[in-house]
Copies of this chain bind each other. A is one copy, B any other.
Amino acid sequence: MAATIIEKARSGEITERMTLAAAAECVDPHLVRDGIASGTIVLLDSAISRRKRPCAVGSGLVVKVNANIGSSADLESVEAELAKLDAAVAYGADTVMDLSTGPAWREILGRISSKSPVPLGTVPLYQVFGEHIAAGREVPEVPAERMLEAVEEHCAAGVDFLTLHCGVTRRALGLLKAEGRKLGIVSRGGSLLAEWMEKRGEENPLFSRFDDLIEILRRYDAAFSLGDGLRPGCLADASDRAQIEELITLGELQQRALGAGVQVMIEGPGHVPMDQIEHNIRLQKRICHGAPFYVLGPIVTDIAPGYDHITSAIGGAMAAWFGADFLCYVTPAEHLRLPDVEDVRVGTVTARIAAHAADIARGRPGSRDRDDAMAKARHDFDWETQFALALDPQKACDERRRAMPSDEDVCSMCGRLCAVRTSRRALEEGEAQD
User: Which residues of A pack against B, CB within 8 Å?
Assistant: 72-75, 101-102, 126, 129-130, 133-134, 139, 176-177, 182-188, 190-192, 194-195, 197-199, 233-237, 273-275, 300-307, 309-311, 313-314, 317-318, 321, 332-340, 349-350, 353-354, 356-358, 360-363, 368, 370-372, 374-376, 378-379, 386-387, 389-392, 395-396, 398-400, 402-406, 411-420, 422-428, 430-431
Contacts and interface: CB of A to CB of B under 8 A. Distances in A.
Contacts of A75: 403, 412
A24 to B, nearest CB: 19
Best-surrounded residue of A187, A307, A337, A414 (most CB of chain B within 10 A): A307
B378 A183 contact: yes
9 contacts: A101-B417, A126-B417, A133-B416, A191-B422, A273-B368, A274-B360, A300-B360, A306-B390, A307-B391
A284 to B, nearest CB: 19
Copies in the complex: 2
Given A176-B427, A307-B392, 18 more contacts: A72-B414, A139-B425, A182-B375, A183-B420, A191-B420, A194-B422, A234-B378, A235-B368, A274-B317, A274-B321, A274-B360, A275-B361, A301-B353, A303-B371, A307-B349, A313-B314, A314-B357, A335-B411
A198 B233 CA distance: 57
Contact of A191 (B73, B235, B416, B423): B423
A333 to B, nearest CB: 6
Contacts of A300: 317, 353, 357, 360-361
A185 B426 contact: yes
Contacts of A419: 185-188, 190-191, 233
Contact of A422 (B185, B301, B398): B185
